[in-house]
Amino acid sequence: MSAITVRVPAKVNLQLAVGPLREDGYHDLVNVFHAVSIFDEVTAAEPGDVSAAAPPLTVRIEGESAGEVPANDDNLAVRAARALAGHAGRSYRADLLIRKSIPVAGGMAGGSADAAAALVACNELWGLGLPVEDLMEIAADVGSDVPFALLGGTAVGTGRGERLSRLETSGAFHWVFALADGGLSTPRVYGECDRLREEAGTDPGLPVASEPLLAALREGDAAALGRALTNDLQPAALSLRPSLAHTLHAGAELGALGSLVSGSGPTCAFLAASETHAAEIAAGLKNAEGCRAAVTATGPVPGAVVVG
């Protein structure tokens, strides 16, 4: 095969519980991931230039905010492909093409999604035949959110978020995502979270999963799920980007069942009662302060899959 294309979803964090800062610089998390129908596609192709001077891995980016994504070795998809080749113990080549629809630096794990897609695409292109268990291990070394992009569906992540357990869900949930201008740095948001806690003298303790949220997922109860949505990073995101408060208020005024900043932000997520309700919220949010666009999606959806 000369080229493999993989489609991979965005995620929203239904619960993001952040524990105290660890000695290794990370935080213990309870992270309830939910894959939604906003997708990137990554194509891994045999390189046109196979000369010794040519780099073994190249990357191009097209689509949503393509200019904001690094087109060099710092790209997570390139790092994932390199990690896969290292795991196989050989030097492999590939040209990667990323088609973006997931917001960049938007708290929806677009870079991690691309890394997961690159793992699946290069595994096929190079004929490695590695099982998903091996890919999950490599993914965890690349980034905390990369394993979930492989898995998809709904899952709870612990540790840094990389240790995953699938969660039982019923039916589909309807979402609206308000996209903001520009992004937010995930390390900066975590740092602000730590600063705000220190300033307030707050000891967060070890994070635990929300039983009301897990029950709402099992029962397919959108209203209960909306009431249970939580994100410990939200105060930090609002501190760094105060305009997000206006977006969240606008969604509540439009009748959203629940809302929160997605991950480290600045994307805001709103849960709707139905597909029609989601369309109504999206239409109303397009005029909200700080919202450059609003898109609808459903979840859960599968993780990275070969589509061509």
Residues within the annotated binding site?
Answer: 103-113
Determine the Cα–Cα distance for residues 29 and 166; give it in Å rounded to an integer: 16
Determine the Cα–Cα distance for residues 306 and 308; give it in Å rounded to an integer: 6
User: Could you tell me which of 40, 28, 265 has the C-alpha nearest to residue 157?
Assistant: 28
Give the 3-state DSSP-derived string for 234-288, with helices as H, strands as E and coil as C: HHHHHHHCCCHHHHHHHHHHCCCCEEEECCCCCCEEEEECCHHHHHHHHHHHCCC
- State CA 196 to chain mean position distance: 24
Binding residues for ATP: 103-113
145 catalytic per annotation: yes
Cβ partners under 8 Å of residue 159, min gap 6: 28, 29
From the candidates 28, 114, 145, 232, which is the catalytic residue? 145
Cβ partners under 8 Å of residue 172, min gap 6: 298, 299, 300
End-to-end CA distance of the chain: 10
Determine the Cα–Cα distance for residues 33 and 307; give it in Å rounded to an integer: 23
Angle at 186 between CA 156 and CA 232, to 5 degrees: 50
What are the Cα distances from residue 263, in Å, to 30, 45, 52, 147? 12, 32, 42, 16
Determine the Cα–Cα distance for residues 240 and 259; give it in Å rounded to an integer: 18
74 catalytic per annotation: no
**Which residues carry out catalysis?**
11, 145
